[in-house]
Amino acid sequence: MLMLQDNSPLYTALRKLERHGRLSDDDRRAFLALPVTEERVRAGDHVVRQGDQPQDCALLLSGFAFRHKMTADGERQIVSFHLRGDMLDLQQLLLRRADHNVQMLTDGQLCRIPVIAFRKVCRERAAVAEALWLDSLIDASIFREWVLNVGRRDARSRIAHLLCELGTRWESAGLGPADHFELPLTQEQLADATGLTSVHVNRVLQSLGVLGLIDRERRLIKVPDWAGLQRVAGFTADYLHQEPQESVRT
Amino acid sequence: MLMLQDNSPLYTALRKLERHGRLSDDDRRAFLALPVTEERVRAGDHVVRQGDQPQDCALLLSGFAFRHKMTADGERQIVSFHLRGDMLDLQQLLLRRADHNVQMLTDGQLCRIPVIAFRKVCRERAAVAEALWLDSLIDASIFREWVLNVGRRDARSRIAHLLCELGTRWESAGLGPADHFELPLTQEQLADATGLTSVHVNRVLQSLGVLGLIDRERRLIKVPDWAGLQRVAGFTADYLHQEPQESVRT
DNA sequence: CGACAACTTGACGGGCGTCAACCGGAGTGG
DNA sequence: CCACTCCGGTTGACGCCCGTCAAGTTGTCG
């Protein structure tokens, strides 16, 4: 078995990619050998801008990021949040032009992988391509859940659902327990993610507090009643596809 | 150049996959050689059910299909519509358990491709895997636009936007001009796709008619003022990624 | 011609948006 | 050490977009 190099910035990503199935030593080696450039970024920095044609893919090493789009008349909608280990613009591997923005929520660190080298590895190592493809399928599943969330849940369960998702992903990214996580979002950003206004988000957060479902202190969320929050949200984690896939073997 | 077999049910899909870049003759041969079983389906038939672990992928040969999810308390949200040539559950290639439902909107025809054989081709023919991966990335892009649509547009532009998308995809699927297409949806289904109620959808459709933006006759939509509809919708087609990609060549 | 689904219309109500004022903490500079 | 500023959070009053309910109407298929 290949000794893993914990010091490679790609190791975090590799661990996430292997969540659904081991790669061979050759696959790991090829992936870890990708050329990268690390980069320190500040809250608010753009990682990708709509219309860009970036020549590299970004991997989030630390900090929080988010994707968002805007309507013609300037309304913003956040479409996803990203934690350590997430690939931020995997789609740039195959799609030329970015159709949305990716921006840092907090200070953090990311590394950039040149598209050309990345594509080469994908073409030569089918299992690596497959793991990355799977990753983008899970992203897509999360987007579908978000459509359901903003389309068919009322404000309270909508926000509760988002909190459940973030807690669950926080835990599965190895950052801590799901019921005690960082939420480095202003209420306006929370509103942009849920299709509400910041005023209403404020009222709903308070009501969730009164119900004993969440405790807020600064940008930290504690969930004293996880089952209750889940019930209000109608949350089940299946759409995150976190379990190993035990998928059909060829 | 490989002579294409117009009679293969996979030919429609191949043409769509090659929209963004030619495959080699070997790639085409491998894809067209996939074992398939054709199937006639009726409006309302389920193609995939949430929780299923299907052993094949479905390709839509004719008719309309849609995907939908439900909240814990039974609210339905449609998350996408599908036309001839679309792969209906590509994600079953890599994900074990379906997290949503796929159902026929009209009578139609589909063909099923066994997951095992399909995966084998993907592992052996990197370019085929890449084309399919690209297809799921475009799906994901459409989901993001839907999040924006239900999250941040009012009822009128929301419905206008959906009509613009369907018209555009109708045309690019080779079914006819974008401003004159079939819309085999009840107003309740339209409501489930836009996060509204059927009553309100009814009123908005009428108002779009009064504005001279659309004409409805039965399940047919004519758009006398496409530019106007686009303006009301705030629609730009970039998120559909229809242009050839001219992507970085390795 | 009866039955059923889909569409249409009107009256009414509520969840959430809008507007605006105020508060509170963190950073800044004198 | 204290004003000043600024951003984000909080609160209240009010109103609108869209949901709800319920009663028709139309169209289609047996």
CA A217 to C1' D2 (Å) is: 28
Q: What is the pLDDT of residue A193?
A: 98
Q: What is the pLDDT of residue A247?
A: 44
B56, β-bridge pairs: B114
Q: Residues A159, A201: contact at Cβ < 8 Å? A: yes
Which of A21-30, B163-172, B173-182, B238-247 comes out lowest in average pLDDT? Answer: B238-247
Q: What is the pLDDT of residue B12?
A: 86
Residue (of A143, A99, A80) closest to B241 by Cα position: A99
pLDDT at B36 over 80: yes
Nearest nucleotide to A203, CA against C1' atoms: D10
Which bases of strand D sit closer than 7 A to a protein CB?
7-13, 17-22, 28
CB contact under 8 A, A73 and B234: yes
pLDDT tens readout for residues A148-196: 999 999 999 999 999 999 999 999 998 999 999 999 999 999 999 999 9
With CA atoms as reference, the chain B residue closest to A161 would be: B71
Which of A7-21, B122-136, B224-238 comes out lowest in average pLDDT? Answer: A7-21
Q: Residues B76, B192: contact at Cβ < 8 Å? A: yes
Candidate from A96, A100, A127 with C-beta closest to B245: A96
Q: Which residues touch strand D (CB under 7 A)?
A: A 186-188, 198-199, 202-203, 205-206; B 154-156, 195-197, 199-200, 218
pLDDT band at A6 (very low <50, low <70, confident <90, very high): low
Asked whether the whole model's pTM tops 0.75, one would answer yes
pLDDT band at B218 (very low <50, low <70, confident <90, very high): confident
pLDDT band at A7 (very low <50, low <70, confident <90, very high): low
List the alpha helices (DSSP H) in B81-125.
115-124
Which bases of strand C sit closer than 7 A to a protein CB?
5-11, 15-20
Number of Cβ pairs closer than 8 Å across A and B?
A: 184
Identify the H or E element spanning B190: helix B187-194
Q: What is the pLDDT of residue A248?
A: 42
pLDDT at B249 over 50: no
Instruction: Count how many Cα atoms sit within 13 Å of the Cα of residue B100 in the half-sphere of its side chain.
Output: 27
Mean per-residue pLDDT over chain A, rounded: 92
Q: What is the pLDDT of residue B214?
A: 95
pLDDT tens readout for residues B3-34: 555 568 898 889 888 888 888 999 999 999 99
Candidate from A75, A126, A236 with C-beta closest to B126: A126
Give the residue-averaged pLDDT of B202-211.
Answer: 96
Number of H helices, E strands in chain A: 8, 10
CA A110 to C1' C26 (Å) is: 28
pLDDT at A144 over 90: yes
With CA atoms as reference, the chain A residue closest to B148 would be: A77
CB contact under 8 A, A95 and B141: yes
pLDDT tens readout for residues A83-119: 999 999 899 999 989 999 999 999 999 999 999 999 9
In the block, tokens 């929370």 appear at A190
B48, β-bridge pairs: B102
Q: Which of B76, B89, B133, B136 is the best mutation test for A, with the most CBs of A within 10 A?
A: B133
Q: For residue B121, give both structure tokens.
A: 């081709």
Q: Residues B44, B27: contact at Cβ < 8 Å? A: no
Q: What is the pLDDT of residue B89?
A: 86
Q: Residues B93, A220: contact at Cβ < 8 Å? A: no
Which of A239-243, B138-142, B207-211, B242-246 comes out lowest in average pLDDT? Answer: B242-246
Q: What is the pLDDT of residue B244?
A: 66
pLDDT at B102 over 90: yes
pLDDT at A57 over 80: yes
pLDDT at B67 over 70: yes
pLDDT at B70 over 90: yes
**Inter-helix orientation angle A187-194/A155-172, to 10°:** 100
pLDDT at B201 over 90: yes
pLDDT tens readout for residues A183-237: 999 999 999 999 999 999 999 999 999 999 999 988 899 999 999 999 999 999 9
CA B200 to chain centre: 25
Residue (of A63, A92, A66) closest to A175 by Cα position: A63
Mean per-residue pLDDT over chain B, rounded: 92
Residue B216 CB neighbours (<10 A): 13
Q: For residue A152, give both structure tokens.
A: 């068919």
